[in-house]
Amino acid sequence: MMQKLGLTTHLTERLQIMKQRVRDGAHKKFRQAQSPDVLAECETEQLSWPRCMSRLTRRMCEAEQPVIEPDEKIVFTRTVPEVAHIYSPLQWKQITAAGSLHELGPISNICANWEMVLSQGLSKRKAVAMDTRRRLADDSEAVEFLDCAVETIDAVLALAHKYAQAARRIGREEIAEILEHVPAHPPRTFHEALQSLRLLHAAVWMSSHYHVGLGRFDQYMWPYLKADLETSRLNIAEAEELLAEFFISLNKDSDLYPGVQQGDNGQSLMVGGLKPDGSDDVNELTWMVLRVSCAAEMIDPKINLRISSKTDLDLLELAAELTRKGLGFPQYSNDDVVIGALVEHGYDIEDARDYTVAACWEFIIPGKGMEIVNVDAVSMPAAVDRGIRSSLAAKDSFEAVLRRVAEDISRQVKKIVKIKSNMILPPAPYYSVLMDDCLERGRDLSKGAKYNNYGIHGACAADAADALAAVKKFVFDEKSIGFEELLEALDNNYEGYESLREKLVSDAPKVGNNDDCADSLLVKLFDFFADACEAVKDNGRGGIIRPGSGSAMYYLWLARGEKATGATAEGRKEGELFSANLSPSLSAAVRGPVSVLQSFSKINYRRICNGGPITMELSDTLFADKQSIRKVAMFVRSFAQLGGQQLQLNTLNPETLKDARKNPQAHKNLIVRVWGWSGYFCELAPEYQDQIIARHEYRV
């Protein structure tokens, strides 16, 4: 019988002390001053790129010094703070001269098949590699890859053995016995499964990868918990205590993980949804994850919840309780929409049902995707701005504006694809161990997987649609603003045109109000975007281009960065920020949250399958009582019933945020959702704090 209702989970005193220790950074005292000198070794031995990567994993694991705190039951504290270099800047430049890199270079932002790795254990994965090596003995590329994969497996097993020995020396027999069994072999208990995952996951980061997700946690961890509960090895409270410790442990090293801002580390975790066979996958662990996350109140892991129009309202209420905590999650994905969209884009139905999310929101398949879901972004505001300005100068029709916008979006997509079509991906021998078919095929993950698609964000679409709606109404329909007048106002950043700007801001149709004029233009923008992506038949790696509706960091970069758009026709002045993801422009007067859902649910998401949430900030006063919580749950159900794809609800109080800027020490635990991730507000750069404070706050 699932323990469904009530927030009965609380951190024990042991866990409260552990959490505070992590927040205080007490574990940093164990960090070493230097990383191992792998570069010198690679140069001396003239190692190939794959062998450099496997040597990196080996030396990083060897350099780790065991840390076992007296109160810990799940261990691993990273003591080598910086991943060692394996190439000099000049060598790296030479290696990558033939193509483009994605972000920092190493493979990132995908999801391992944790279910497979846990159920087999690393010893079985090593046996698979050795079997393939014998079968492909005449294939030198396969032999080298498999040797590298085995080197990484041995490195992680040696690290586990080192921890087991350290545990024995200090009399921690249970930890020693666990680490003598996992990750070499399949876990026998829930405790062992959590410990195995902790080490396996940490080793990915130490191998230079980043944005390492945890996938469908309640699906692959449930068999271990279920067995423990059925045999009374654990009760619910004991299981929750172990899970809470695992969650706390994920926050230890997050300051070491690369990202745009601290907290942007990709430790996303998915619960709920369907199994590959189409049956419901919600189980006791689904509920437990939500309860424990409520109790832990930390930025990691980032919780995602798969729902549908039929999801149990009690589960949605528990999720709303988590939203009330102000952590910026759970983020909701609607199976009714997502699965069909993935199938439309060539995914097998069993794989589509098994989707999780990447670091932020992009839909990926665990173990089966070498997909780069965020290669770049199309600037919707720039496309619209250029289309409007050109048409104003030519005194064209509104149809000409739309034609120019469509052509601009197409050009942006083609430019991105041209740059990224010769993407260079470094070898990933350890990550390959954790993925489907790499060891079996004798081919590194960098050579491709079942799915090799790219994703492009369609950024800041509401602002762009508002600009089109304003021009349509005032310039072309009412003719109350002249071509030259608006063009001069834009060129002058509205200086001297304050009344005209006020008209554009206050009187034009706006996305977020269920206004057919503005919303239809929003839909057109995404149709143009989908047309442009569908015209690309091969991304250079045998995959397609997936259009998305998220903005990621581009809501800032497209407003103030080197690709910044100047003053725009919805009344936005140069340098003012765009809205994040699918949310009304920051200057829009919006009727309420339901109208926002109605506006953004009109997008044809079967064509827009890369992900990108409707993003809304709820006032913390909205969660006054149980009835209010139920209303939020019903609001989420309405999102699913309306056909929305993804929803991100954040809880904030602007006055608290403003005080946190003045008195950061008094608010050092204040958590906010930034875009697809949550972070500590006081650790964010000022420009990100500005945008969060400026967001719409919904009270009803």
DSSP for 610-633? S---EEEEEEGGG-SSHHHHHHHH
HEC profile for 305-350? EEECCCCCHHHHHHHHHHHHCCCCCCEEEEHHHHHHHHHHCCCCHH
Please provide the DSSP assignment of 430-487 as one string.
HHHHTSSSHHHHT--GGG--SB--EEEEEETHHHHHHHHHHHIIIIIIS--S-HHHHH
Give CA–CA dist 397/206, Å, rounded: 57
CB atoms within 10 A of CB 457: 30
CA distances from 613 to 75, 534, 550 (A): 35, 21, 6
pLDDT for the residue numbered 41? 96
Mean pLDDT lowest for which of 353-367, 604-618, 643-657?
Answer: 643-657
- The structure tokens listed for 45 are 């031995």
Burial 558-586 (b: 16+ CB within 10 A, else e): bbbeeeebbbbbbbbeeebbbbbbbbbbb
**Which pLDDT tens digit goes with each residue over 120-143?**
999 999 999 999 999 999 999 999
- Which carries the bigger pLDDT value, residue 75 or residue 620? 75
**Which pLDDT tens digit goes with each residue over 445-461?**
999 999 999 999 999 99
Give every CB contact of residue 195 below 8 A, 6+ residues apart in sequence: 74, 75, 175, 178, 179, 182, 187
Report the DSSP pairing between strands 646-652 and 331-334.
antiparallel
DSSP 100: B
pLDDT for the residue numbered 660? 82
pLDDT for the residue numbered 700? 43
Q: Are 265 and 210 in contact (CB under 8 A)?
A: yes
Its pTM stands at: 0.93
Confidence of residue 51 (pLDDT cuts 50, 70, 90): very high
* Helices vs. strands in the chain: H and E counts, helices first: 28, 14
**Which pLDDT tens digit goes with each residue over 262-319?**
556 789 999 999 999 999 889 999 999 999 999 999 989 999 999 999 999 999 999 9
pLDDT for the residue numbered 256? 81
**Which residue's structure tokens are 């945890």?**
214
- The structure tokens listed for 524 are 């057109």
- The structure tokens listed for 425 are 């991906």
Q: Is the pLDDT reported for residue 668 higher than 90? A: no
- Which carries the bigger pLDDT value, residue 6 or residue 289? 289
